[in-house]
Chains A and B, each alone.
Chain A
Amino acid sequence: MSSVFVFIVIISALGIVCVIREFRFRNLKKSLEEKISDIDRISKLLTEKNMEAGDRNIRLQKLLEAKTDFVGIASHQLRTPITEIKWGMETLLDGSYGEFDSEQRARLEKILDSTLKMIRLIEDLLRLVRSEAGYKEYNIREIDLEALIKDVGDKIKEGFRKKDTELEYNFNTGGREVRVDEDMIGIVVTNLISNAFHYTDKGKIIIGTMIANNQFHFEIKDTGIGIPMSKQEHIFKKFQRAKTALQMYSGGIGLGLYIAKNIIEQHRGRIWFKSEEGKGTVFYFAIPLF
């Protein structure tokens, strides 16, 4: 009797264990199914996000291309109407449409002067956009940088022939070819040389070049007004110009050095300066030759 009882108890216990296990198994299965559906959902979400990121990449790429196109189109679209104003004023002033009295002439000359200022501002802004376009957008080729520097220097000196400022070249690279974007480096060189002339009423500007540490080194030393100590740390920022400089010259909007820094850095180089107020400034840049 007791053995039958024990048997029943054992069977019942086994039954209970089975029921409990079955119950736990079901629970496990259920939670596994839930997990799988979670994973499914996440994986779907990830795929969607991935596609979105891909789309966003394509959109960004298009935007970048559009920015580069924009510069080309904007420069053309902005230059066209302003050329009409400029040519219109110039032909009025050169007598193509009859003579004007001196008062009328003075007014026309003022309008032409403002138009020329406007052209310089537009060119500055276009250069800014181009300089920010990134290295990939640069048109890198090997060029004789000294020849470019001399070309730009001679032209700027000619423009400032009324000033009592000498320009001297001290070239030491023997016409070494350097891999750069000619337009962009031309902008840097133009900025640095015309700054030197703007801020040097009389004295001397010396432009030097050399190769050192596998880099092309450029320096331009002037005997001009110098940069006040308090302004020195801001000189490469956007829209910066020292007050004294502003009083002397207001031809631009203070983008030149910011643009120059952008361009030199895009060429993996660096730009810096030393300056003493009242004595003069030296600007340097170095570009790796690789």
Chain B
Amino acid sequence: MENKKRQILIIEDDEFLRETLVRKFKKLGYRVSESITGEDGLEVLKTAAPDIIILDLILPGIDGFEVLKKIKEDERVLRIPVFILSNFGSQEDIERGLNLGAEDYVIKTNVSPSDVIKKVEDILKLKGS
């Protein structure tokens, strides 16, 4: 029920995966914003304050690491948990993501859309929002 107020920003260039997540989160009552590029995601963040951000790493313009860096430099949005969802999955990438301040890092093939929802809910519960 409290999900009704929850807002999520999904930055993902793969249309199919994005739509899959959007559909699932909307069904749960989330307000969903979508971005295909990192630049657009940062633009959305200028006016919106989502409770959580799902971030892909390989994007058409600036990559997800760059987006994450910019988020963490911006006092206004740096506290929003960022959940990296990528198919890049070396230990190096994972550490880089977590060191830049991501809340979690998950490889897409290793999880189902329902797992993603569960992880997002866990993060939000942890953050008490």
Contact = CB atoms under 8 A, between A and B. Distances in A.
Nearest to B115: A90
B47 interface: no
Contacts of B90: 72, 139, 183
B109 A82 contact: yes
B91 A91 contact: no
A83 B13 CA distance: 14
Interface string A57-97: 00000000000000010011001101110111011001010
Contact of B20 (A80, A82, A91, A183): A91
Contacts of A94: 112-114
B14 A80 contact: yes
Contact of B91 (A86, A119, A183): A183
A276 interface: no
A109 interface: no
B16 A75 contact: no
A265 interface: no
A182 interface: yes
Contacts of B112: 86-87, 90, 94
Nearest to B24: A96
Interface residues of B, number: 20
B89 interface: yes
A65 to B, nearest CB: 16
Contact of A96 (B23, B58, B87, B108): B23
B58 A87 contact: no
Nearest to A123: B109
Given A72-B90, A87-B113, A79 B108 contact: yes
B108 A90 contact: no
Which interface class (under 10, 10 to 19, 20 to 34, 35 or more) fits A?
20 to 34
B92 interface: yes
B34 to A, nearest CB: 16
A76 B20 contact: no
A83 B115 CA distance: 13
B114 A72 contact: no
Contacts of A90: 112-114
A75 B93 CA distance: 13
Nearest to B107: A79
A91 B112 CA distance: 8
Given A91-B20, A91-B24, A96-B23, A76 B113 contact: no
Nearest to B94: A183
Contact of A76 (B16, B24, B88): B88
B17 interface: yes
Contacts of A139: 90-92
A84 B91 contact: no
A186 B20 CA distance: 32
B109 A79 contact: yes
Given A79-B109, A80-B14, A82-B109, A87 B88 contact: no
Given A75-B87, A181-B91, A182-B91, 13 more contacts: A72-B90, A75-B89, A76-B87, A79-B108, A86-B112, A87-B16, A87-B112, A88-B20, A90-B112, A90-B113, A91-B113, A96-B24, A139-B91
Instruction: Please give me the 10 A-B residue pairs with the lowest Cβ-Cβ distance, nearest first.
Output: A79-B87, A90-B112, A183-B91, A83-B108, A84-B16, A79-B109, A83-B109, A76-B87, A182-B91, A87-B20
Interface of A: 72, 75-76, 79-80, 82-84, 86-88, 90-91, 94, 96, 119, 139, 181-183, 186
Interface of B: 14, 16-17, 20, 23-24, 27, 58, 87-92, 107-109, 112-114
16 contacts: A75-B87, A79-B107, A82-B109, A84-B14, A84-B17, A86-B112, A87-B17, A87-B108, A88-B20, A91-B23, A91-B113, A94-B112, A96-B23, A96-B27, A96-B113, A139-B90
